Structure 1
Amino acid sequence: MSKGYTHIIGIDPDSKASGCAILDLEKRELTLSTQPFFLLTVLLDDFRTSETVLKRKTLVVLENAYGTTHNWHYSPKDTRGTIAKKGYSIGLCAQTYNLLLSYTMQKGLDYIEQSPLVKLWRGTDRKITHEELVSYCKRNRITLHATNQMRSNQEERDAALLAIHHIATRPAVFP
């Protein structure tokens, strides 16, 4: 593992609490959680410190759903007030993403801004279900942490897919 990352942190930013998936590549174990912004900054600090002290290498994968226009979910039946409320909510999520991106850059962690992954699952709106995530982890020889084996929420599952998607990503090498 000396040439690659030891951990991948997938983050699905949200205004109140973001989905977070920590993939330990040496153990091939995935831990899921939902964290408010400030606890995510503490987590990123801890991983930055572990890079220095424990010689780990971490990749942060942030979902950037806000750089595209195709993620705007509205219905022709929505009122102007409903549309405004959805826009406000999306703006709050985008702000969380921007703050996390700035924080990650300021801490000097490697990061990737990942566009939303294609939704090809069986759940509502073609999102992944917990059962599909468990099966997907098994196919990729990844063990879900004991606290996550029975259930997970949608933000956690989306963050997990971000982390798993980048298993083969290697650090950039500069001469």
Structure 2
Amino acid sequence: MKSTTRGTLAALLTCVAAAAGAAATPAAAAGTVPVPVPLEGVEQSLQMELPEIDAEVPLLAPGAPDGPRYVEGRLIPDRAVPQLPLDAALPGLDLRAPLPEVLGDDFNHLGVDAPAAGLDTLAPGLTVDLPLTAPDPGNFGLPAPKLPQAGVLAPALHGVPAAELGLGQGL
């Protein structure tokens, strides 16, 4: 293969890879996938104005768990079952419904805009401790008994959803 052919092929593959990466970036960056709801066929068959609906479905992205923490004086590490973070989004909705005017043949619209909002979560975790202490040099290296300990790390949910409701003229 000639060097000009190889160069052209390499440039073509680079352009295709860049275009594919650019096409995949908006959905991955937003954390949602847009889902339009087609109602045009129903409008034509019923011969009436129907709402326009666009939805957004969230994508889950698991994060790296916060691993076990070693604590002095314990035989097993703290957070035996670590909490798993999940980054996602609340579903979004964009709705425009026609409202007929009382006097006349014109239409107004009712709009609801609830964009996808970021949502950070932490799954519940577990922490346990054995009913023995660490080896004690004063007790010939034997562990001493103690009360067992167990705890559940509470799940967490952080998000700021927002929505906007409005009326307007025209469709």
The two structures share one fold, judged by TM-score above 0.5? no
Normalising to structure 1: TM-score of the pair?
0.20
Q: Highest CA radius of gyration, 1 or 2?
A: 2
Normalising to structure 2: TM-score of the pair?
0.20
Higher strand share: 2
Higher helix share: 1
